[in-house]
Amino acid sequence: MAMETEPQFVPAVNPSSEYHLTKVIALPLMEKPLCPGFYFPTHVRDPKLLADLLENQYVGVFLLKDDTNPPPETLLKGKELLNRLHEIGSLAYISSIKGHQVIHITGLTRIRITEMVEEAPLTVKIDYLKNKPYDMDDGVIKDTFLEVSSVLRDVLKTSPVWRNHRLGDFMYPYLADFGSAMPCGTKHQAQQVLQELDVHKRLQLTLQLARKEMEIIKNESLGMERNHCVFSFLLPEVDEREPVLYEQTPVGVAMALSLTSTGGSTLYMETSLVEEGEAIGCLYLMGEVGEETNESANVAYIVAKKILLKKQPENTFFANSMLRLDLPRCNGRSAGCTMTTSLLSLAIKKPVRKNLAMTGTVTPSGKVLGIGGVKEKTIGARQSQVKTIIFPEANRRDFDQLPENVKEGLHVHFVDEYEQIFELAFGYDEEDYQIELRAEGDEYNLASYVGKPVLYEQTHVGVAMCLAMTSIGGLALYVKTNFDEEDEGDGCIHIIGSLGKEMTESVWMSNDLAIQILRKKNPENTFFADSLLSIYLPACSTSNDTSACSTIVTSLLSLAMNKPVRKDLAMSGTVTPNGKILGIGNVKEKTIGARRSQVKTIIFPEANRRDFDQLPENVKEGLHVHFVDEYEQIFDLAFGYDH
């Protein structure tokens, strides 16, 4: 029988391979089920069962159906135990076994018991369960997701159990599983969260439990008490701070030049030791990585072992160490050299040379192959104030063809063998290793290369500025409405731009709202009824990004009233048919985009006030920000000025 204990921190390590098991030992849980992505230590009382678990890497964990826990001396067996287990549970990875009774398990994926194979230990055949298909752009699902995120952030800030954890940027299914970990929930409510395969319904269950937990926390702050159930879940720590250059690179950390959805950037990869023991050498990956990155990590592990054997033949670190490699969200093979370097740094216990970033695909023989995105990665290095970079020899011509002002001041090394990277990363004298402080305010002359943002000297009638998320990050972009011709009684609007179905519908809704507002502000104005209009919309990060709705309404009203929008004003917000302003995403990127475009005044939804408040001061400095929850407030800000 498994008994959950008080929480202990053990790194969650996810095996990098897919799950192909058809049968597993069934481990009963008494307090709460274990959802994918969560982990906790649990006691196993049966010494024979513990011995069997020692020989396995995976185990199936299932909650007991009983409303009351059986006495400790009761050890259920075989069919009797099977009949008292919920058939839906989780495949778990046994990350470590401490002492004689405590094992640490990490939930991996949902499974269902199909039949019993053996009675002692109880072994069952399993099927793997998948979430039902869902649309991430569905408005109802998105709103529920945002509400769950908001309530959970409040819980994490105020609860003594959760206070030391941060809520990261999780996918919908993972966030929906948080309900199973709410202390206020019963074991059966937690099991209901685990069993629900409809992501939207699971989000709703989690929202109910999170709100209940928040209410209990508020009552406790007023002096009311509650009986705490045993809470044995821990959340993976997620650091939400801006990436910075280390003053001194820690052992096990290496910096990659990466191509992300917002352009080139530098990302850290870190290897850490999970456990040491004779001949237990293995590597587990942490992070949302694609198949190519997975394969590249396996190659990096092979190359690192070969290099270590050659450089330090007596070093048995890889053979006797269970390692965890933390990777940023990515897919591709160009981080192979960085992963190899991170692994070797920990193995030889020597930090990588400071201010060094690299990119390159590595082969099992140690060859370094060419990569793509040289221009973007070089600009990303400059933006991160990196001074020394490593590119594959195959990309020398790509780099040489870049403008001089992009290459200026960079120390670039071209390599075709990983051994050359090893010498560049670790071939320094310890006594002469000086830490170079990051230069503040170091500006690069990129304006002549990427161009300067342009603001209208005086905003034209029919023009409004939106803050949008594009493929190169946040930007301020103009939405423009033109008058084509007069057609009394047959007014209509023609949309120009590549839009998805949801965004197209939002334009029609914005047009209807503009008509309502104009009728309210100036009942005699029949502009919309008698005019053929064209509205020009910029290409944003997604053809279904509805955060430009407030800008569309403003552009339409500007033309209808023949009054320009206040100069130097940009906005972002989704609008409902009755004029409510809903929250949006990418507040950080859009704020940076406003600064990049030299915008001074911005409008955000009231729902995003907290997101803005949590930004670094140097990002917010000098900006005049208004938070609104009704379009009427935007109208007053945009047009309520004295000529």
Look at strands 368-369 and 361-362 and give their pairing: antiparallel
Q: Is residue 534 annotated as part of the catalytic site, yes or no? A: no
Among candidate residues 149, 547, 550, 558, the one labeled active-site is: 547
Among candidate residues 265, 334, 342, 531, the one labeled active-site is: 334
Among candidate residues 187, 375, 387, 590, the one labeled active-site is: 590
CB 615 within 8 Å of CB 588: yes
333: nearest Cα among 379, 376, 364, 375:
364
Q: Output the six-digit token pair for 643.
A: 């000529």
Phi, then psi, of 60 in degrees rounded to 5: -95, 130
Q: Which residues contact 75 (CB under 8 A, 6 or more apart)?
A: 1, 45, 46
303: nearest Cα among 248, 360, 356:
360
Among candidate residues 142, 377, 387, 588, the one labeled active-site is: 377
Q: Is 55 helix (H, G, I), strand (E, B) or coil?
A: coil
Which residues is 417 bridged to in the sheet? 367
Task: With residue 157 as reference, give the H or E element that holds it.
Answer: helix 139-158
Look at strands 388-392 and 356-358 and give their pairing: parallel
Q: Which residues contact 628 (CB under 8 A, 6 or more apart)?
A: 573, 581, 603, 604, 605, 606, 634, 637
Q: Is residue 377 annotated as part of the catalytic site, yes or no? A: yes
Rounded CA gap, 136 and 149, in Å?
15
**Type of residue at 63:** L
In 277-331, the DSSP E strands lie at 282-286, 321-326
Q: Which residues contact 215 (CB under 8 A, 6 or more apart)?
A: none
Q: Is residue 305 annotated as part of the catalytic site, yes or no? A: no
Buried residues in 470-505 as b, exposed as e (16+ CB within 10 A)? bebbbbbbbbbbeeeeeeeeebebebeeebeebbee
Q: Is residue 521 annotated as part of the catalytic site, yes or no? A: no
Catalytic site residues? 334, 377, 547, 590
